[in-house]
Amino acid sequence: MERRAQALIIILWILLMLTVITVSIAHRVSFSLRLCSYQKGRLKTLYLAKAGLNRAIKEIEKDVNLYDTPDEPWADNEEVFKQIALSDNQAEFAAVGYTIVDENKEERPVYGARDEERKININKASYELLVILLEKCGIEGSADKANNMLIWRGDKPDDDKIYDALGYPCKGSPFSNIEEIKLVKDISEDDFVKLKEYVTIYSDDDKLNANTSPKEVLAVFAESLAENEEQKSYAGLIVDDIVAQREEKEYFKSISEIDIRDVEASSSADDALYTNLKNKLIVRSNNFLIEATGNAGKIKNKITVVYKRNGTLLYWHEG
């Protein structure tokens, strides 16, 4: 009887150990299956995002006009870019677009790509332009911060070794991406958030697209070109006039269509500034920011690229 009891206890222990082993194996198998499913979803969303990217590039390549506007098929096209389906599964699709804050301070989606020539190139901007840009974005200490940006990008020497205390050297060469602004002395994360929608490093020169640039960017640019206080006082009026012409014509097919009109009949200063600004404007962009997202149920994957019209990818980031 005693031996039977011992045997029963041993059997129960064996069964318990087998149960523990079985549960452990089941847990591992379940985890592995979930991981495989997630990895499969990630891979699927990556290729969906690439499909969205290719769709945007095709739309840009189809654009053969010698001018660009905010209404181009690649720029604002919900029908094409909101849901790019590659199968019958409605939960699996790609989307190309971004979010803006409208005049009512509310966020809304825009489906399409953005040209970089609508922004100010921080590698080519003058000290005056940087100061005014920082001021208009509500950033305090604009003069010192603009000077620090010039030092960072190598336009001025770091004689005072201002970066030694921060624990890293001054780069002394052009910005490689706009996120690098956060490494500039005294520029905070909040400052970067205020700036990021208005700056780029990817435009070919220091000119702005007269058709796509927001009014506030044109105003900053115009004020920075003023040679004296009298001209500076006309900068806002000149930009208002250009924007009004843009709305009347719907877009400029060439810069020659912009009429230099007297903003203030009692002064010729506005004519000089108008001419300087007009010489800094273009109507065709060459560089485009594309944000493509692949969706597969709850899994998402995003690719952000800067595409040059000649077929070159200047920037690529996944995630």
pLDDT digits (tens, 9 = 90+) for 146-172: 999 999 999 999 888 888 888 889 999
Q: Which two tokens stand for residue 5?
A: 């009891």
Arithmetic mean of pLDDT, 99-108: 78
pLDDT value for 39: 72
Q: What percent of the chain has pLDDT over 70?
A: 91
H-helix segments, the chain: 2-62, 78-81, 127-136, 142-152, 189-195, 215-225, 229-249, 269-278
Give the range with max mean pLDDT: 22-36, 50-64, 265-279: 50-64
Over the range 24-36, which residues count as b (16 or more CB within 10 Å of their CB) and which as e? eeeeeeeeeeeee
Compute how many other C-beta atoms are within 10 angstroms of the C-beta atom of residue 215. Answer: 13
pLDDT value for 278: 92
> Which own/partner pairs from 246-252 qualify as long-range (CB within 8 Å, at least 24 positions apart)?
246/210, 246/211, 250/69, 251/67, 251/69, 251/71, 251/211, 251/283, 252/67, 252/210, 252/211, 252/283
Check whether 103 has a pLDDT greater than 90: no
pLDDT value for 264: 59
Arithmetic mean of pLDDT, 187-204: 94
Question: pLDDT grade, residue 265 (50/70/90)?
Answer: very low
Check whether 11 has a pLDDT greater than 80: no
H-helix segments, 63-114: 78-81
pLDDT digits (tens, 9 = 90+) for 216-240: 999 999 999 998 888 888 899 899 9
In angstroms, how far is CA 126 from the centroid of its own chain?
22
User: What pTM was computed for the model?
Assistant: 0.84
Q: What percent of the chain has pLDDT over 90?
A: 64
Ranges 33-47, 185-199, 286-300: which has the least confidence: 33-47
pLDDT value for 263: 61
pLDDT value for 294: 95
Ranges 76-90, 252-266, 300-314: which has the least confidence: 252-266
H or E stretch at 94: strand 92-96
98 contacts 114 by C-beta, under 8 angstroms: yes
Q: Which domains does the chain have, with CATH numbers?
A: 1-117+285-319 (3.30.1300.30), 118-138+188-282 (no CATH)
Ranges 17-26, 57-66, 297-306: which has the least confidence: 17-26
